[in-house]
Amino acid sequence: MNDVNMLVEELRALITTTEFSAEERFNVAMNRIAGFLADTFGAEKGEVAVLWKRGDSLSFLWPDFLAGAKDLAIDSALPIAANIFRNGNSFLDNRFMEREHMVEYEFVKETDGESRLIWKMMGVAVTVDGERLGVVQISRKRTPFNEPGPDFTPADVDVLEKLAARLGPLLKAVIPF
């Protein structure tokens, strides 16, 4: 947990600095948070997703290649993120490919030009001061030539819940909308 404490202090300093524009603070914070979560769970930064409430929808904040994608309606039944947001319950599925879910975002080309399908996923709601504001998901993706990595465990979900609680207020402070 020392690593998260260092990240929290770094983000607090970033939030209060006047050296960067709001957009630069947001970009730096998202990159640091995504990198931290990826390292914590043995994932790649592109396997971290952060979605935030914007009106009646969830908008992708990360990965950056999905930031311009269409929003997910909170009342939609199929998107896992919308379900996590609505009910506040954490999510864990190591057989995600067998589950009915939205796949259109999985076919968006990533920064390396590849599209990879999600095989495993866990996700938690982000709540700040009693208000549900977003969702953080960690996935394991694969192409036809690699394995999706180890299963997520209930202990991983517990860690993600704690990290979302610690990082949620900092995310809220840098989000430009």
Distance between alpha carbon 56 and the CA centroid of its chain, in Å?
18
Question: Are 163 and 37 a contacting pair, CB within 8 Å?
Answer: yes
Q: Which pTM value belongs to this model?
A: 0.89
Domains in the chain (CATH in brackets) are: 2-174 (3.30.450.40)
With both helix axes pointing from N to C terminus, report the angle between 22-40 and 2-16 in degrees, rounded to the nearest 10.
170
**pLDDT exceeds cutoff 80 at 175:** yes
The residue that leads in pLDDT, 108 or 150, is: 150
Q: Examine the pLDDT at 171 and tell me if it is beyond 90.
A: yes
Q: How many CB atoms lie within 10 A of CB 46?
A: 20
Whether pLDDT at 101 is above 60: no
> 144-156: per-residue pLDDT in tens?
666 778 999 999 9
The pLDDT of residue 103 is above 90? no
Taking only the tens place, the pLDDT of each residue in 113-167 is: 566 778 899 999 999 999 999 999 999 987 666 677 899 999 999 999 999 999 9
Any idea how long the chain is? 177
Percent of the chain having pLDDT more than 70?
86
Average pLDDT over residues 163-174: 96
